[in-house]
Each structure stands twice: as C-alpha cells, then as structure tokens.
Structure 1
Amino acid sequence: MAAPDLLFGLRNNFYLGAYQAAINNSNIPNLSQEDAVERDSLVYRSYIALGSYQLVINEIDSSAATPLQAVKLLALYLLSPDNKETMISSLHEWLADPAIGNNPILRLISGIIFMHEQDYNEALKHTNVGGTMDLHALNVQIFLKMHRSDYAEKQLRIMQQIDEDHTLTQLANAWLNLAVGGSKIQEAYLIFQDFSEKYQMTSLILNGKAVCCMHMGNFDEAESLLLEALNKDAKDPETLANLVVCSLHLGKSSSRYLNQLKLSHPDHMLIKRSSAAEESFDRAVQTIA
C-alpha cells in the first residue's frame, strides 16, 4: 500500500491560491528531509504570492538547500526589477552545475522566471522534460502564452495519464478550455464550480469562475464574483484587471480599479497596454493640433 501523501493538503492549498491557509497548516510532523524541503519551498512560495518577498529573503540563508535558494532567487527577482540581470546570471550558473542543475524545484523556478521575462523558449529548455506535476502544469501555461494550445493539450494528456483527478490536472484542463473557447467554456466553469464546492473559496477560484462568466456574456454574475474576490484580497492583480474589463462591458467606470492596479502592480500587462494606448492617442492628437 502506498504511503500517505503528507503534503497533499499543503500542496492543494497552494495550487488553489489559499496561501495563508498553506502557511498556517504547514506544521506537519514526521516529514522526510526531502518532504521538509518541499514543504518549506511551498510555504515560502506562498509568502511570495502574498507579496512578502523580504521575509523570504531574510529567512533563507546561504546554507539552505538548493530548492530554497531557488525560491529565494525568485523573491529577489520580483522585489528588485532593476537587478534582474544579476538574478538571471545566477540562475544560468546553477542550471549549468551538474550537481544541482536538474533539481525539479530549481527547474520550476527557472521556468517561472523566464516566463516572467517572456522568454518562453528558454523557459521550456528547463521545464519541457517534466518529471513533476508542477512542471507539466507550468508547461501548459507556457504553451498557452505562446498560443500553442495543441502542445498544451499534449501536456494535459500526460498529466491525465499520471493522475486525472490531481488538482493541477483539473486546473490545466480549465486553462486549456478557456484558451480554446466556444463550448469548452462551460466545461471550464464546471471545473471551477467543483473546486468551489470542495474547497475554501479563494481569489483564484472566483476569478476562474468570473472569466468563464465573461466569456459566456454573463457580466453581472462575473462582477459579483470579482467583488467577492476583491473582499478577500484588495490588491490581487488578476481581480483588479478582470474588474476593469467587466466594468467596461457593463458600461460602468473602470478608472478606480485601473488606478488601484497601476499603484499595486505597475508592470501588469493591462497597465502597459493602457499606457501604450494613451501614448498613441496623445501622439495622434498632437499631429492634428
């Protein structure tokens, strides 16, 4: 009989965006050394997701295991955008080191950082061989960013063969359904609905349901889901970005949500696009003036 997965609850909380619950319930007894490192990496990644970059940097010292050093590097990368080159240089050094370069958590963090850089080919160099459900799920995200839903679907099939009921398999299925659109939107909605019935409601689940509603033209329902998500986390960038889009479709002012997003996440894609559109408009006005 297989040994019980002591980290199941912690992983599930992390995957579904219940970051504080992941942190609060992380004191798990009788873990092996390998499991303890994975537990710590999930806890620190939860702190990163909550924006507590400095705490992660302060707590992980130079004697920590490679996976934790990788998580610390992610915190440094997100905290200091001006020093990205230094972080990426360190990352390349670690990945080239035969002793640690194949560590799955290091490869996962590398994929996340290169995805932030929009260097998808470099990300795939380190994630594409898979090996863990987290890596397969990240591959699905990368392929969807590259608008290659055919490759994303192949990754999903691999995940389904490993464990069809795994939370990440279900999430990856929902992401792919949203990307494909059409009749698949209803299937994605049902996945998020199932999560909301089984687990505590999080911003991630509420945003998933809301995006499905927007695709189906149900903007009133989407707005109420997003306002519920905003109550849980007033600075969540995806909630704010989705509220901007939803408000525009409902004919309501979106400026407050856009301003909140600009203050808390100035590098968000929606802010960059909005600024670029404003600059183009200003240039057009000047040519007429």
Structure 2
Amino acid sequence: MAAAPDHLFNLRNNFYLGAFQAAINNSDVPNLSPDDAVERDSLVYRSYIALGSYQLVVHEIDASAPTPLQAVKLLALYLSSPENKESTISSLKEWLADPAIGSNPILRLIAGIVFTHEQDYNEALKHTNAGGTMELHALNVQIFLKMHRSDYAERQLRAMQQIEEDHTLTQLANAWLNLAVGGSKIQEAYLIFQDFSEKYQMTSLILNGKAVCCMHMGNFDEAETLLLEALNKDAKDPETLANLVVCCLHLGKASSRFLSQLKLSHPDHVLVKRASTAEESFDRAVQSVA
C-alpha cells in the first residue's frame, strides 16, 4: 500500500532550516486532517515566535485551542518577558503532571525547549528522553551536546538514522555532532550545510552552519563573507552576531559594533555574559594596581 502524501513536508522543512517567513507564507495547505491542521498551526505559530512576534501568538491562541497550541502559547509567554518566566514554568509543570495531556509530544517538546533555556538539562530530558518524534530526538541531541555528552548525542543520532537517514533533522543533528567532535568531522559537517544550501533557500541557520565549519578549519575570510550574508537576512540574529564577534577577533578586525548589537537585542546571550564577566574582572585588576 502506498504511503499517504505528506502535505506538511515543505512547511516542516522550511521551519527546521530557519526559513520562518517562508513557512508562514506557504502554510495554506488544502485537505489537511484535523491532526495535521493542528501540527500546521503549531509550526506557523512557532515560526512567528522564532521571528520575535510573541504577542501575536499570545493574542491569537485562545483558551479553547487544543493542547499543542496551548503549549506553543506558553513558549511565547515564556520568551516574551522575564516577568512571565516563573508563572509559565509553573503552568508547564502543572500540565505535564496531568495524565490526560502530559504525554502530548508538542507539550513535551516545548517543556524541553523551556528547560533547556533555563539550563536545567536534567529536567528537560525528563520530558524529551523518551523521544517519539524526530523533533524530540533532535532536541535530545542538542541537550546532550550542551552537557558535553557527545556519546549520548551519538546514540540519539543513531536512533534518528534508523527512523529516516535522509530526514532534514537527522542531517542537522549529524552536522551538530560532527562540529562538537571536531577534527576530520568538521569537513563532513560543512558538506551537510553545503548540501542544504544547494537544495533549499539560503537561511541564517545554513549560513551560520557553514561559517562555523569554516572558522573551525581556519578559513576566517570565507566565514566572514557567509556571516555578513546572514546579517543581511536578519540583522538581529544572535548567532550571526556572536559568530561575527569571534570571526572579527581572529581576523584582527574591530568587533565592538557586533557585540554592541548583540548586547542590545539579546542581553542574556552567553557571549554577552562572558564579555561582561571579563570586563568586570579586568576593571577589578586595574583597580587593584591603581
């Protein structure tokens, strides 16, 4: 029996590769089942979240919406302002403890994303580790890499390869792992991003992936060209700005403008925090000898 056509393939792919506006623009897919319609809406709202349109998502998803969309609304609330974080996490834990909805894959995925943001990786894994969807497996790979456990990340990748080796998320997870392992694996990661750039529209995610590989291989001029192209696509993308800071330092160029932009648009970014800590340490050292 032939498999049913996957009506959401292009929408999912756009979302995974960071083409968020394209995902939104091409989301009017006909003949969707009720379950597919909910998945479509959750991907569209998550694309709006990725573009920073938190309030649109909060206003459009009302109390009658199904659980996956309510979970996406929680993510928008969590990211919209620091004051919302505590109440959002409290609601999230309440829902996860509810036997009727606690095992919903989108709710578990959002829980994983939120707790990863909180750097509470053990709590994140409680909800994501059982897998069940390719996105949950891919998030597990990211969490294990953040915990510096590339051995566990590799196990997750193997599970993804057994499900579907050519899946976009499997390829992305493979590239992330290759970057974490380093050495000769960097070239393999570069080829994955190169393949994406030939098949699909160029996005900040793909350009940053190629640029990070170039930096690992010492090709800082090529990395800078790729990152400036990414900056043209999204002037506030935190990864592009952070990578440009690092790239400029290696090229001996001024990086203060990119760091200032990063501080303004993403004050909680790890690079901003590290720079602030370094500045404070330097100031203390200067005062001690003054």
Question: Which of the five TM-score ranges fits, normalised by the shorter chain?
Answer: over 0.9
Compare 76-85 and 139-148 and name the one that shifted more. Answer: 76-85
Q: What SS does the corresponding residue of 1:101 show, helix, strand or coil?
A: coil
Supply the AA of the counterpart residue of 1:100: I
Q: CA deviation at 1:212?
A: 0.1
1:1-289 equivalent positions in 2, closer than 5 A = 1-289=2-290
CA distance in 1 between counterparts of 2:217 and 2:82 reads: 37
CA distance in 2 between counterparts of 1:279 and 1:270 reads: 14
Supply the AA of the counterpart residue of 2:87: T
CA distance in 2 between counterparts of 1:108 and 1:42 reads: 12
Corresponding pairs, count? 289
Q: Deviations over 1:43-66 (max 9, x none)?
A: 000000000001100100111011
Supply the AA of the counterpart residue of 2:233: K
Supply the AA of the counterpart residue of 2:211: A
Supply the AA of the counterpart residue of 1:87: T
Q: Where does the alignment leave 5 or more consecutive residues of structure 2 unmatched?
A: none
Identity %: 87
CA distance in 2 between counterparts of 1:54 and 1:67 reads: 18
Q: Deviations over 1:153-210 (max 9, x none)?
A: 0000000000000000000000000000000000000000000000000000000000
CA distance in 2 between counterparts of 1:207 and 1:171 reads: 12
Structure 2 length normalisation: TM-score? 0.99
Q: Deviations over 1:201-260 (max 9, x none)?
A: 000000000000000000000000000000100110000000000000000000000000
Q: CA deviation at 1:84?
A: 1.1
Structure 1 length normalisation: TM-score? 0.99
Q: CA deviation at 1:267?
A: 0.6
CA distance in 2 between counterparts of 1:113 and 1:81 reads: 13
Supply the AA of the counterpart residue of 1:230: L
Greater than 2 Å deviation, 4+ residue runs:
none
Q: Deviations over 1:93-151 (max 9, x none)?
A: 00000000000000000000000000000000000000000000000000000000000
Q: CA deviation at 1:83?
A: 2.5
Q: CA deviation at 1:286?
A: 1.3
CA distance in 2 between counterparts of 1:246 and 1:82 reads: 34
Q: CA deviation at 1:283?
A: 1.1
Q: CA deviation at 1:82?
A: 2.1
Q: CA deviation at 1:80?
A: 1.6
Q: What SS does the corresponding residue of 1:61 show, helix, strand or coil?
A: coil
Q: CA deviation at 1:81?
A: 1.1
Q: Deviations over 1:17-59 (max 9, x none)?
A: 0000000000001111111000000000000000000110010
